[in-house]
Amino acid sequence: MTPAYALQLRDVEKRFGMTHVIRSVSLDIARGERHAIIGPNGAGKSTLFNLISGRFVPTRGSIRLNGEEIAAATPFAINRRGLARSFQVTNMFPRLSVFENLRCSVLWSLGYRYCFWRSVDTLHDAGELANAVLEQIGLAARRDVVAGVLTYAEQRALEIGITIAGGASVILLDEPTAGMSRREADHVVALIRRVSQGRTLVMVEHDMSVVFDLADRISVLVYGEIIATDTPERIHGNAAVQTAYLGTLPDA
């Protein structure tokens, strides 16, 4: 029996010393949902991502991924259970080629683990999958280029590619369009729409047009607390959100 929720957070709390960054966050994200987390700077959005993905251990509370508790698990253990994330600051393997970046990202999910008796070049499924992702993120022409020399927009695309390559069922994207021009952002939105087919997507995003374009539901995080979770239309009309969140919301 599969649980209805891909992610369930219950009373999650995170303190750094005396600083209360996340205060009692509870959130249910359904399987296949596209969920956006918005909020002013310093609200704790990235911290929340770091808690879910295992980069930080929560001070209190429970996080369930597909029904399994992951609150104290390591990042690699969480990844192996089907959750992958991207980073706000591009976080790839800079001295490896674009193709090699993607191939490294599929090895575990294809079951090759710490194999040291087979050459990667004979693992055709890994090569084919990496090439397929390469096509999907539109970097096929840059296949053999060292990732460190890609343009910013290309690096952001690769960042998403690394995140989705392993076939994770839950994808966390941390500000995927940060620092992009309108055209580049539109391109990435289309890419996200494509790659999130059939998966659960949680994203932190500042660009409201991106959020309202993509998300099924939106959570508003202010000072470490979720003040509202609802559909884009209702979030737009929510008075509490209007007062707490100083960003201007576009017409939905």
Partner 1 sequence: MTDAAAAAGPPPAVVPVGRGRRWLIFTVALLVVLPYLPGLDTDYGRSLLTQMAIAAVFALSFNLLFGQTGLLSFGHAVYFGLGGYAAIHVMRAINQGLPLPMVLVPLIGAAGGLLGGLMFGAMTTRRAGTIFALISLGVGELMHAATFMLPGLFGGEEGITASRTRAPLDFGVTLGPQLHVYYVVVTWAVVAAMLMYAFTRTPVGRMCNAVRDNPERAEFVGYSAQRVRFIAFAVAGLFAGLAGGLHAINYEIVAADAVSAQRSGTVLIMAYIGGTGHFIGPVLGAIVITWLQSSLSGYTSAWLFYLGVFFIVMILCAPSGIAALIVAHRPLVRSRAFFGVLAAYAIALAPLALMGAGAVLLIEMSYRLSTQPELGTQMRLLWTPLDAASAWPWIIATGALAAGVLLFRATWRLVTAAWDRAGGGASP
Binding site for partner 1 (CB under 8 A): 53, 55, 74-76, 79-80, 84-85, 87, 91-96, 99-100, 103-105, 107-109, 112-121, 123-136, 140, 143, 162, 165-167
The amino acid sitting at 24 is S
Q: Which is nearer to partner 1, 81 or 234 (CB)?
A: 81
* Cross-sheet strand order for the sheet of 60-65: 19-30, 5-16, 60-65, 68-69
CB of 85 to partner 1, least distance (A): 6
Alpha-carbon distance of 211 to 38, in angstroms, equals: 8
**H runs (alpha helix) in 92-226:** 98-106, 124-136, 152-165, 182-195, 208-214
Alpha-carbon distance of 165 to 195, in angstroms, equals: 10
Q: Which is nearer to partner 1, 35 or 199 (CB)?
A: 199
Q: Which is nearer to partner 1, 108 or 223 (CB)?
A: 108
CB of 117 to partner 1, least distance (A): 7
Instruction: Classify residue 153 as exposed, middle or buried by CB count within 10 Å of its CB (0-12, 13-18, 19+).
Output: middle
Q: Which is nearer to partner 1, 1 or 117 (CB)?
A: 117
Alpha-carbon distance of 23 to 58, in angstroms, equals: 11
Q: Which is nearer to partner 1, 5 or 99 (CB)?
A: 99
CB of 195 to partner 1, least distance (A): 9
Alpha-carbon distance of 65 to 28, in angstroms, equals: 10
Alpha-carbon distance of 77 to 94, in angstroms, equals: 24
CB of 7 to partner 1, least distance (A): 16
Alpha-carbon distance of 237 to 232, in angstroms, equals: 9
Q: Which is nearer to partner 1, 162 or 220 (CB)?
A: 162
CB of 188 to partner 1, least distance (A): 18
CB of 152 to partner 1, least distance (A): 17
